[in-house]
Amino acid sequence: MNELKPAAELAAQAAGKPYPNDSAAYRAARVALLAEEIELRRHIERVAEQRRALPPGGEAPDYDFKDENGKTVKLADLFGQHDTLCTYFWMYGPRRERPCPMCTALIGALDTPARDIAQRIAIAVIGRSPVERQLAFARERGWRNLKFYATVGDDFARDYRGLAPDGSEWPALDIWVRKDGVVRHFWASEMGGTQDPGQDPRGAPDPTPLWNILDLTPAGRGTDWYPKLEYPGA
């Protein structure tokens, strides 16, 4: 394995040239920040390597789902031709008039690259509402590429932390693997309660592009704003 150059050295090479009217203080601070960003990237890659090395997870029960044609399918059927499956359980149960805005923001960000993702793994969105209801909202948003499924009963949602004992819903991002006909749970976001003091609930890492972009800005995510399903005048 090639030895990595120090992050500070890489940063100085990449960010040493100023943009128009940069002050020396700004450029020095930016170079120092870039070194930290390089270290963060390397840490993310180390975590991804550690994730890939997880031992086999628990064997998944044989859950039933309904597809968009009303056909009952098994969890294994959601894999299609692949041996890896990504599922997102969204907060759009039958008691909700409209789906969760944060779930909507993430799913919207997944819809366009879903065609690319599907070249490597299967990807599916799962909800407790009938598929027809989920698809109606998907068409309203202009989503075209994701596949939607409805749970049959609440065992899946309850077992994989999408449904709390009090009936409230929680989003769940999960990765599954299939080997020799056996489906196992590989990884879950396990986001409930992992946020630090003063933070709103978030994943570790947070996969939502909305937040990743806002984190690049001076104001960041803010403390009093969340995405909405509709914006006046938009």
Residue pLDDT, tens place only, 90-105: 999 999 999 999 999 9
3-state secondary structure 133-201: HHHHHHHHHCCCCCCEEEECCCHHHHHCCCECCCCCECCEEEEEEEECCEEEEEEECCCCCCCCCCCCC
pLDDT greater than 70 at residue 234: no
Q: In sequence order, what are the residues at sequence separation of 6 or more whose Cβ sits closer than 8 angstroms to the Cβ of residue 192?
A: 161, 170, 201
pLDDT in tens, 154-205: 999 999 999 998 999 999 999 999 999 999 999 999 877 778 888 877 777 7
pLDDT greater than 80 at residue 140: yes
One-letter amino acid of 24: A
Q: According to the model, what pLDDT value does residue 225 have? A: 87
Q: According to the model, what pLDDT value does residue 16 have? A: 73
* Element of type H or E holding 131: helix 131-141
Single pTM value for the model: 0.92
In sequence order, what are the beta bridge partners of 125? 88, 148
Mean pLDDT of the chain: 93
**pLDDT above 90 coverage of the chain, percent:** 82
CB 30 within 8 A of CB 15: yes
Mean pLDDT of 33-53: 96
Tokens of 112: 């366009």
In sequence order, what are the beta bridge partners of 88? 125, 173
